[in-house]
Amino acid sequence: MSDQYGHWVFKKNLGRGGFGVVSLWFNEETQENIAIKECQLHNTSDKMRTWWKAEVDIMGRLEHDNLIRALPVPPELAPEPSQPPKLAMEFCEGGDLRKVLNLPQNCLGLSEKEIRQLASGIGSAINYLHKHRITHRDLKPENIVLKTVAGRTLYKIIDLGYAKELDINSLCNSFVGTVKYLAPELFISKPYSKAVDYWSLGVVVYECITGYRPFLPDTPPVEWHREVSKKSPEDISARYNNDKSQVIFSKKLPASNHLCKPLAEHFELWLQLMLRWEPKARGSSRFNCFEILEQICSLQVISILNVEKNSLLSYPVKKEDSIRDIMQLVSTQTEIPEDEQFLIDTAGFRIDPEEPALKFCSDHLSEELSVFLFRAGMMEIQERDNYNLPSNVNTIVKQPTVLLGPKGHRRAWAETVYWITEEAKIYHRLMLAHGAALLNMMQDNSKLLRQKSKMETEIFQLVACQEFFKNSLEFDINKCKESLEFSTHLNSVGGQRIMETWTELSIRFNAPHSLVERGKSLVEGIADMNAAVLSLQRRPDGTHMQVNKLKEFEEKAKKLYDWFIHANDPDTIDHTKMVNLIAMCFCQRDELTKTLYNHIRNIRDQQTESETIFNASEQFLHDVKEAREQLSTLQRQRQETLWSIIRNPHQQQQTSAGELDNTIQYLPSLSSNLESVQLLMDCREYSQKTTTMLKDMLKEQEQSMVYFSSPENNK
């Protein structure tokens, strides 16, 4: 084969399909890459040639985002008339799924985001094929490739070399496909239908979740069929015990996977449907198995970090659910009452229980955490769930030189990589919780500082009102003395009692003074709290470096695992290096936990104090408002008393007595020991001078009312 035809340049061989070789070609003019699949002519039977032509024909008729897209063969690369047809396809730069699964970080399965994308896409593609009466018959990781489109990974099925067009409910007898992913009926040459794709899809999805195939991987076919046939309809996995004397079946996924709990439970039920031994029962349900899979992959889940236990709580969310509904579930699971649940988002804002829960669900293609749960009040640190090491990891920690066999050795190291990776993720989440708590504290502090400014203004205005009130009383007293000197009518019991009452009020009105002192004390407390908050804003020493250290351990564990699986004689390698990483990870994790939790506890204690002082400041502002209203009311009633004297001098005896009596009764807390004032005015007419004095007093009182109704004038 030449390396160049026209503008098309051969780059490399990509792999082998069912009947041919796939190569990569690059167009120097258009900068386009395409994959060309050519049928191998040597040792090719007539049957294989027929299958090859069928693949080319099928590929040309199909169009689905998750099926490899067929392209026109460039004229420069077209086959000779005597040669079999070529198949041109889009190039998927991400390689095949097998290469992805072999990466150290995926040794125990893909991430939740990747599983959602893969299961949804491949399930949709198989459903599309079945609707077009096509059974793939050879679904496996090697026949799934990855392509990035608009920043999103698409998983595409390739190699339809064994695909067969079937009539509805038709059965086929030919034995094709890859043994490790074959449905059970194919081992005994029983007729089969599209249900074989259900089994293969279930096996692929299980492997992507866990990192290994579900039923006795690497067991010879005859033994495999004999043992796995004993499974119940709901069993989704089987493994040998340590001495290989017994097969252990399970209806659950292993704990070491990257799925949240609700998603794992849904996948378990779906896998029980897809991995049934009997073909007629496989995939059968009241609902289409592909529709069920799509619902699972699009499931909305809210994830909440319970900071006290450093454990993740996950709940499926419906459209009508509110945060209060989620809080009820949290209360049941954690025994934290709803009224003690303090929920904040990543920005540190308190979450309203009436908000829709969907608002706080991460995009199902994202794994970012968005909600953090604290217990209101003082924080109690509890033991974290899943603290123990996985069983295989615990074995090598206790016996670093133990020989577990190639598969057991690999599983133990894979679980170690998973455990160290999870530790880094768990404490990354704890750092996010720390950051959210810090932001929430800063928001509370900003609110307190605004409250402090408001209190200082109110204190200033209250002092000004108090001084103005006292000055007004002094003015009234002086005018009253002058009127008594010029009028024998006022020189009576009533006039004398008015002057005595006002004099006593000016001396004994001390309530605003104690209120002012209380306000000043609160202002000083807020200033001290602000200084403490500024100190807490600094990151705890070394925590960021420790998190980076955990990531370093994760990378070292992955490199050790990669070195192990490529070693010539891996079974002879002891576990010392991996065990050392485990020990160092333990130490760093515990140190990080202690430092972060101490700082988070200090933040929460500060917030508790902040809430207390804020409530006290709110009460202070309420009391200031009442005091100012009392002062304003006193001024108003005194003014009305004087006006009534001018308007009805002949009724001044009754009116004056009633008005002043009401004035004194309005302030029982300010002058509770004052006697009731009875004004007995016995004269019917005032002298001209007394009237003039009263008018002067009223003018001054009108000015005071304007003053009290507009406190900002005091500035």
SS3 string, 385-408, reads CCCCCCHHHHHHHHCCCCCCHHHH
> Cβ(600)–Cβ(307) under 8 Å?
yes
Looking at the chain, the number of H-run helices and the number of E-run strands are 16, 16
For CATH 1.20.1270, list the domain ranges present in the chain. 447-714
Q: Could you count the other beta carbons within 10 Å of the beta carbon of residue 66?
A: 21
> Cβ(583)–Cβ(450) under 8 Å?
no
> Cβ(282)–Cβ(186) under 8 Å?
no
**Which tokens go with 401?**
């030189």
> What is the Cα–Cα distance from 344 to 34, expressed in whole angstroms?
50
pLDDT for position 687: 39
For CATH 3.10.20.90, list the domain ranges present in the chain. 301-375
Residues 24, 29, 31: CA angle, nearest 5 degrees: 50
Residue indicated by tokens 């020189």: 491
pLDDT for position 515: 83
> What is the Cα–Cα distance from 222 to 264, expressed in whole angstroms?
31
Nearest Cα to 69, choosing from 88, 93, 95?
A: 88
pLDDT for position 667: 42
Distance of alpha carbon 223 from the chain centroid: 47
| Burial 602-615, CB ≥16 within 10 A → b, else e | bbbebbeebeebbe
pLDDT for position 669: 37
Length of the chain: 715
> What is the Cα–Cα distance from 346 to 344, expressed in whole angstroms?
7
Question: What does the pLDDT look like over 525-580, one tens digit per residue?
Answer: 999 888 888 888 876 655 555 567 788 889 999 999 999 888 877 777 888 999 99
The torsion angles phi and psi of 327, rounded to 5 degrees, stand at -60, -35
pLDDT for position 159: 78
> Cβ(648)–Cβ(655) under 8 Å?
yes
> What is the Cα–Cα distance from 183 to 134, expressed in whole angstroms?
17
> What is the Cα–Cα distance from 36 to 168, expressed in whole angstroms?
32
**Which tokens go with 214?**
């579900």
> Cβ(137)–Cβ(197) under 8 Å?
yes
Would you please indicate which residues are annotated as catalytic (active-site) residues?
A: 138
* Residue segments in the chain with a per-residue pLDDT below the cut of 50: 165-171, 173-177, 385-386, 490-491, 650-690, 705-709, 711, 713-715
pLDDT for position 679: 28
In Å, how far are 103, 149, 192, 300 from 117, measured between CA atoms?
A: 18, 13, 29, 14
> What is the Cα–Cα distance from 30 to 398, expressed in whole angstroms?
60
Helix (H, G, I), strand (E, B) or coil at 287: coil
**The CATH number of 4-90 is which of 2.60.40.10, 3.30.200.20, 3.40.50.150, 3.30.70.2860?**
3.30.200.20
Alpha-helix residue ranges (DSSP H) falling in 374-492: 391-398, 405-486
**Which tokens go with 430?**
């704890």
pLDDT for position 688: 46
> Cβ(391)–Cβ(268) under 8 Å?
no
pLDDT for position 305: 93
pLDDT for position 322: 95
For CATH 3.30.200.20, list the domain ranges present in the chain. 4-90
In Å, how far are 297, 488, 491, 492, 569 from 681, measured between CA atoms?
A: 91, 11, 9, 7, 119
Phi/psi region, residue 551 (left: phi>0; alpha: psi -120 to 50; beta: rest), is alpha
**Which tokens go with 685?**
């007419």
**Axis crossing angle, helix 543-565 with helix 576-647, rounded to the nearest 10:** 150
Class of domain 301-375 as given by CATH: alpha beta
pLDDT for position 57: 77
> What is the Cα–Cα distance from 405 to 598, expressed in whole angstroms?
44
pLDDT for position 594: 83
97-297 is a CATH 3.30.70.260 domain: no
Class of domain 447-714 as given by CATH: mainly alpha
For CATH 1.10.510.10, list the domain ranges present in the chain. 97-297
pTM of the model: 0.79
pLDDT for position 495: 60
Residues near 699 by beta carbon (within 8 Å), at least 6 away in sequence? none
Residues 303, 307, 312: CA angle, nearest 5 degrees: 30
